[in-house]
Structure 1
Amino acid sequence: MRWDSLFDDLAGQLDDELAVDDDAVRIEAERLRRGRLMLRERLVALCGDADAPGPLVVELVDGTTWRLRVRSIGKDWLQADSGTPGGREVVVPLDAIAAIAMTQTQIDWSLDDVAVREPRLLDRLTVSFLLRDLCRRRAAVIVRTRTGSWTGTVDRVGRDHLDLAVHEPGSPRRSRSIEQIRVIVLAEVVVVERAA
């Protein structure tokens, strides 16, 4: 009888130690997973879900702060509705983000262990590809850089720069209305906003 209770006690201690070891392994695995997270992955977790918690407060490298509702994320950019009147569409290169002020709910969502999903075409599209589309559409844009902002039409997009035909906001791109062609290095672009 005493042997049975001893064996039961030893078995219980072993189960407890194994459970503690399993918990420690799970905690360490989660710590490693979170340590490998990139900002893009955290933003993807907050994007495109109707239940996702509110807009993000994003501080950019030029010192401006934007309230953005992220709609889609590419390889190195995000597309969002801005908090400006009319909620204009903006494109922000991920390298232009200095910080994001998140609520605790947004933090929790962004750290969730999201199931691996199939790669999408959007995940491979770069900001230069997106800007080439704006160029083809001849869309009027406001290009904000670290040093200023210009309104115009994107004439062409190279691998690391774009040509912006600068003209008055609201006017169509016409040769006589172009003030200058500004060649802007893509690394300096902070926000590209669709002009009204």
Structure 2
Amino acid sequence: GLPDSEHHRVARMVPWQPDRKAPLAAFTAALQRGLKAGEPSLQYLALMNTGGHRSDLPEAWRAEFGGGGGMANARALAGMYAPLAQGGTHRGVRLLRPETIERMSAVSVATEIDATLLMPTRFGLGFMRSMDNRHRPAGFMESMVLGRDAFGHAGAGGSVGFADPEAGIAFGYAMNRMGAGILLNERGQGVVDAAYRAMGYQTSAPGAWIRRT
């Protein structure tokens, strides 16, 4: 957890405010229906069944739990992924074997429609892979378009951290004003796209950023 001495550094999250004219991701629409109907839908249970936990309180900052308890900025996110982008080493110290990283990044589950997220998904062992759902009505809020070998995870509101071993980079994006969608949105994806273009990657049309030779 975050020590009390560091609480003054925390940037408060600004909740997403829905735009009635904008399309909703299927997950968000199902969540809203569950909230209005008072029914414990799968989407409601996945996001709201927290036992009264609120992530914006100091009590939550002090807690230490997996799957949502991290407190970091973009630099720290990138630093966490850096060894995974560099073959398993960090500052000359080997932390993971290359074959371990290969297993972590390999696609282990791919769905046509994920039962919880209600969109096509691709996952490795605990990590998300590039997911291009831009063909869907609200696809710009249901996508996370990365490099072919990149793996990481999106966070609430559109944050993201990932490693791309092919490109040799680790990436972090964090914001305190939450955006729409269930993966990235135009802000986060725009920063990811700019990074790949700066490295000479020329297209994301195949569903992932690639270098043209």
TM-score class normalised by the smaller sequence: under 0.3
Normalising by the residue count of structure 1, what TM-score does the alignment of the two structures yield? Answer: 0.22
In terms of fraction of residues, the more helix-rich structure is 1
Normalising by the residue count of structure 2, what TM-score does the alignment of the two structures yield? Answer: 0.21
Name which structure has the greater RCO, CA cutoff 8 Å, separation 6+. Answer: 2
In terms of fraction of residues, the more strand-rich structure is 1
